A and B are shown apart, each in its own frame.
Chain A
C-alpha cells in the first residue's frame, strides 16, 4: 500500500513532467510529420541511378537512351534527366554542337536538373556532353574513337575529374561495374586497353581503398601516382592523335574536388594514415599541365575558376551554380581557347614513358 501511495505521488509528478514535455515537443512533431507528408506529395516519381544504367559490351555500361525521368541523387533528391538517342545527356547530338565534352559524372551532370546542366549554359555556343557516371578516361578515349567522324572542326573538351579518374584508369571495376582499363605490358612497357573481363555480371572483388584515399596517394607522387600519370599521358596522347586525325581541337580540362564533403574525408584520411600527410593537392594539376605541354595539348585547370561554394554540401559534384559557371567557361574556351603549348613530344608517349 505504501509503495502504491508513493508510486502514485511519483506518478502524478511524472505525469506532470510528461504533459509539459508533450506540449513542448508537439510543435516539433507536427512540423516534422507535416513536412514529411507534404514532401511525399510534392516529390515526383523517380528512379535510382542504377535504374537508368545498362550494360554496354564496349564501355562496360552506359545510360539508357531516350530517358525523360527524374533520378535520385546521393541525397535521394530527384532531378530531371533527359538523354538523347545514344544515352548522352541533352537532346541534340554531337554533330550539331560546337563543343563536345567527354567525361564522367561531371560531364553527365550528376545531381543537376536539366535546367541547370552545364551544357545548357553555353549561351550562343552549343555544348554536347558525352559521358556517364563513373566513366574513367579509358572510356572517354573509346568514345572519342567511336564518335571521331562527328568531331571534325569541333572543340573537344576532356573533363578529367581529379578525384578518381586518374586512379580509375588503372582499375578493372568501378563500384562493382566492370570497366575497360589500362594495363602496361611487362616486357615492352607499352600500355594497352584491357576489355576481356567486361560483362554484365558484377565485379565481386572489393576495392582496397576509397576514391579520395587513392587520389591522395596519387597526389603524394609515390608509385601509384607515377603509374597513374603515365597512364593518363598515354590516354591523352592517343586522344590527341585521334582528334588531330579528324581536325578537332582537344582541350584537357581538369576538374578539382573542392567539395566540403571531400575536404572532411581527406582530413579524416590524413588523421588515419600518416603516410598521406604530405600529399600535395596541386600536384595532379602540375603533372597534367606538364603532360599536356609535352603532348602539345591545350590544358585548362578549373582549380582557380571554381571554389568550394560551387560544389554540393553532401556530394562531390557541382551544384547548379557551379554547373552554370562551367558551362560559361567551356563556351569561352571555344571562342577563346588557351594557347597551344609549344613543346612538342620527342616520341610517342608510350615509348617515352617507358624509357
Chain B
C-alpha cells in the first residue's frame, strides 16, 4: 500500500487535484445531505469542480496540496507502523507467558548453503524448518507452518503483520527475497 505519491509530474498534480475534488465533493454532498439540504448534489458538484479546477489550472497549488497530503500520510504511516508493531509484540509477549514452544530445528545435512560449498537454490534458505513454501504469499506460508508445528498462536500475528507489510511509503520499497549483500 503506497501511502504517498512520490512522482511530481503535471499529470500527478492534476490527478491529485481531481481525486481531492472527488473526496471533497462526496464529503460536502454527504454533509449537506445530513444537514437536510435539498441542494446537496449541487454542493457536492461545486466542491468537486471547484477543487479540481484550482488544481488543474494552478499546478503549484496542486503540488503544495500534494506535498501537504504526503506529509500527513507519512505521519499517519509512522503511527500506523508503530501501532501494528506494538500489537504484534503484544501477541508475542502474551504467548511467551506460557513459555517457548519454538523448537530448534537445525537444517538437514546438505539442506543449507552454509554447509555445502556447491550451494543450494533459494529454497534451501527458506526451508530450515523442513518446510518449503509453495510459492504463495508469506502469510499463507506462515499460517501453514504454524499449523504444522503446533504454534497456532502465530496466526494472531498475521493480521497486523500483513497490514504492516502493506503500509509502505513510496521510497521504502522492500527488497525481493534471496537478495544477498556481498561485503
Contact = CB atoms under 8 A, between A and B. Distances in A.
Nearest to A78: B9
A14 B15 contact: no
A18 B163 contact: yes
B11 A42 contact: yes
Interface stretch (A2-10, A60-68, A174-182): A2-10
A77 to B, nearest CB: 4
Interface string B81-108: 0011011101111110111010000000
Interface string B1-28: 1111101111110111011101100000
B27 to A, nearest CB: 11
A35 B83 contact: no
Contacts of B18: 38
Contact of B159 (A6, A14, A40, A42): A14
A76 B3 contact: no
A77 B94 contact: no
Contact of A36 (B2, B77, B163): B2
A255 B24 CA distance: 43
Interface stretch (B120-128, B132-140, B150-158): B150-158
A32 B2 CA distance: 7
A43 B3 CA distance: 21
A40 B11 CA distance: 8
Contacts of A28: 3, 73, 76-77
A8 B90 CA distance: 11
A21 interface: yes
Contact of B5 (A3, A15, A35): A35
A10 B90 contact: yes
A75 B12 CA distance: 11
Main secondary structure of the interface of B (DSSP, over half): helix
A281 to B, nearest CB: 27
A14 B5 contact: no
B53 interface: no
B46 interface: no
Given A31-B23, A34-B19, A18 B2 contact: no
B68 interface: no
B14 A25 contact: no
Nearest to A8: B156
B157 to A, nearest CB: 7
A17 interface: yes
Interface residues of A, number: 41
Contacts of B156: 7-8, 10-11, 14-15
A76 B7 contact: yes
Contacts of B10: 77-79
Given A10-B94, A11-B156, A43-B11, A17 B76 contact: no
B30 interface: no
A36 B5 contact: yes
Contacts of B97: 2-3, 6
Nearest to B2: A32
A104 B104 CA distance: 65
B163 to A, nearest CB: 5
A13 B69 CA distance: 30
Nearest to B3: A28
Given A27-B23, A32-B5, A43-B11, 19 more contacts: A3-B97, A6-B94, A6-B97, A7-B95, A7-B153, A7-B154, A14-B156, A24-B76, A25-B163, A28-B3, A28-B77, A29-B1, A31-B69, A34-B15, A35-B19, A36-B12, A41-B15, A78-B9, A78-B11
22 contacts: A3-B95, A3-B97, A7-B152, A7-B154, A10-B92, A10-B94, A13-B87, A15-B156, A20-B83, A25-B1, A25-B77, A28-B3, A28-B76, A31-B16, A32-B2, A34-B15, A36-B5, A36-B15, A43-B9, A75-B8, A77-B10, A78-B11
Interface of B: 1-5, 7-12, 14-16, 18-20, 22-23, 69, 73, 76-77, 80, 83-84, 86-88, 90-95, 97-99, 101, 152-157, 159-160, 163, 167
